[in-house]
Structure 1
Amino acid sequence: MWTERGGRVRLEPTQRRIRVVLSGTTVGDTRRAQLLYLPPPHNAYAFPREDLRWDLIHESGGTDSEPGLGKIKLWSVEAGGKTAENAAWTVPQPPADLDALAGLAMFRWNLMDAWYEEDDEVFVHPRDPGHRVDVLNSSRHVKVLVDGDLVAETRRPRLLFETSLPVRYYIPKLDVRMDLLEPTDTATRCPYKGVASYWSVRAGGTVHKDLAWSYRAPIPECPKLDNLICFYNELVDLEVDGELLERPRTPWSVDQKH
């Protein structure tokens, strides 16, 4: 989305009520938030200073830099006996075209305990209003092969089209060789889909860790994904209507993993 939106740091107002919580205490609660677009990986919500609990926010003495903004000042947050070091940040001298930042404060998402848009909890990062996730029923003939072994085959997939990502093919469990899949403890969160659980795949004499995933309880906006299985296009051989698809290059490609 960074490239599609012009690749520049900017502020856009949102009409959503935004709350941020630490140790059960609401540190920020605003109906006047702005979405601060930053270079990847994630954007940030900017809170008017008047809508924050400054009795819980203290100077940490730390500084850092943020691309497009320059030097930032770091603050620690203390609530309920818990301290989140350097969790909040401000921009003492914002660029001229972002002078509104002088009256705003941001938080490092993963250092706080919970975030809410209205009354829905949101995970990982703010939802981008320009980011689309569409799930469509399909009759395409989809095969998933791992090391030459047929792991799944269906003519009733659901296709997920998500901004800036490869098409994902979600497959009913009845069309997957579940005897080849082993559940793992891995779980990831997506602000647009929910919490994903993972499976490793036994194929070709090898166990391929966390090769497939499923949303057992997707967020209400994505009910069509409920309990379907999806495999990484980047790591399996995927045939659609008899055509072997080229493996896309993404952060999940083998040579991109760390």
Structure 2
Amino acid sequence: MPLFPNERSVRTTPEGLLWEPSERWVRGRKGDVTVVDSRHPVLVWEPDLPVPCYTFPRNDVRTDLLRPAKDPPTGKHTGSQIFYDLDVGAEPVENAAWTFPAADLAGHISFEWFRRWGTGLDHWYEEEEEIFIHPRDPHKRVDAMPSSRHVQVEIGGTVVADTHRPVLLFETGLPTRYYLPREDVRLELFEPTDHRTGCPYKGRAQYWTWRGEGEVPRNILWSYAEPLPAVSPVKGLVAFYNEAVDIILDGESLPRPVTPFTASLKP
């Protein structure tokens, strides 16, 4: 049965899960096979994870493609789950789906997103728009605002950017990101890499790495050539990880924030 609480609000389970029904039409595919097709998805937030996942009524899932997992993981998701392998071709996808133990979510199945964990389904759609990495959080805002503030960026004491024409990107739960015109960035000090990422709020990003000396993480600089419409002001601009460079805003040095990205930013 789809979950329809009387009031549209986030609810909590004894296991510490937060959940909320969504009105979006969600589909998930593995290759050309549609595995999930649901008009009654439920968003679930696990403890200590900053982004939600979807869980779906069993009737909206191709359960004929699921098999009990041969080697289920431990501690990957909240509670004592039942895991399933997905059989859509010559090679099954291990632990592609699972169930939460919460009574509120009984009769529902969750799926991994390929670009998030490297397994699971590889194409997801909300209505007719493909969504990457993870579902969008309806309680999160992402605002891109042109500004005239003075932004300088330094790496190891070298000024690598200086502008009065930034676009400030405010994203719930993350530090402000400063997107800068390329003409105001010393791009000759960086070299492009093959690294690419996707974001459900902003689109697909390309990256550059610092050419100079010092212990600077790779892929420190990025840009969205074709951002999603909601953040179109950042198109073609470049941004640095605040966590690993020195940013001076209107003459004031900003502290380096600690974020979920900090641990992965290693030289």
Task: Give the TM-score range, shorter chain.
Answer: 0.7 to 0.9
Give the Cα separation in 2 of the matches to 1:61 and 1:204: 48
**Could you give the per-residue CA deviations for residues 13-53 of structure 1, whole angstroms, max 9, x where no partner exists?**
10000111112110010001111111215422111101111
Letter in 1 for 2:193: T
**Could you give the per-residue CA deviations for residues 77-121 of structure 1, whole angstroms, max 9, x where no partner exists?**
122444211101124xx34xxx23221111122221111111111
**1:205–1:85 Cα change, 3 Å:** closer
Give the Cα separation in 2 of the matches to 1:172 and 1:56: 49
Alpha-carbon deviation of 1:178?
1.6
Contact 2:217/2:265 (8 A) holds in 1: no
Partner residue, 2:181: 172
Letter in 2 for 1:142: V
Partner residue, 1:229: 238
**1:218–1:199 Cα change, 3 Å:** same
Aligned residues: 249
Partner residue, 1:70: 79
Q: Aligned pair 1:112/2:116, yes or no? A: no
**Could you give the per-residue CA deviations for residues 151-177 of structure 1, whole angstroms, max 9, x where no partner exists?**
111101000011111111000111111
SS in structure 2 at match of 1:70: coil
Alpha-carbon deviation of 1:204?
4.8
Alpha-carbon deviation of 1:62?
4.7
Partner residue, 1:26: 34
Is there any run of 5+ residues in structure 1 with no aligned partner, and where?
A: none
**After TM superposition, which residue ranges in structure 1, 4 or more long, deviate above 6 angstroms?**
none
Q: Aligned pair 1:140/2:144, yes or no? A: no
RMSD in angstroms over aligned alpha carbons? 2.5
Q: Aligned pair 1:102/2:106, yes or no? A: yes
Partner residue, 1:250: 259
Partner residue, 1:86: 95
Partner residue, 1:35: 43
Contact 1:149/1:204 (8 A) holds in 2: no
Alpha-carbon deviation of 1:6?
8.4
Q: Give the % identical residues.
A: 45
Q: TM-score, normalised by structure 1?
A: 0.88
2:130 to 95, 118, 121: 121
Alpha-carbon deviation of 1:252?
3.4
Contact 2:216/2:244 (8 A) holds in 1: no
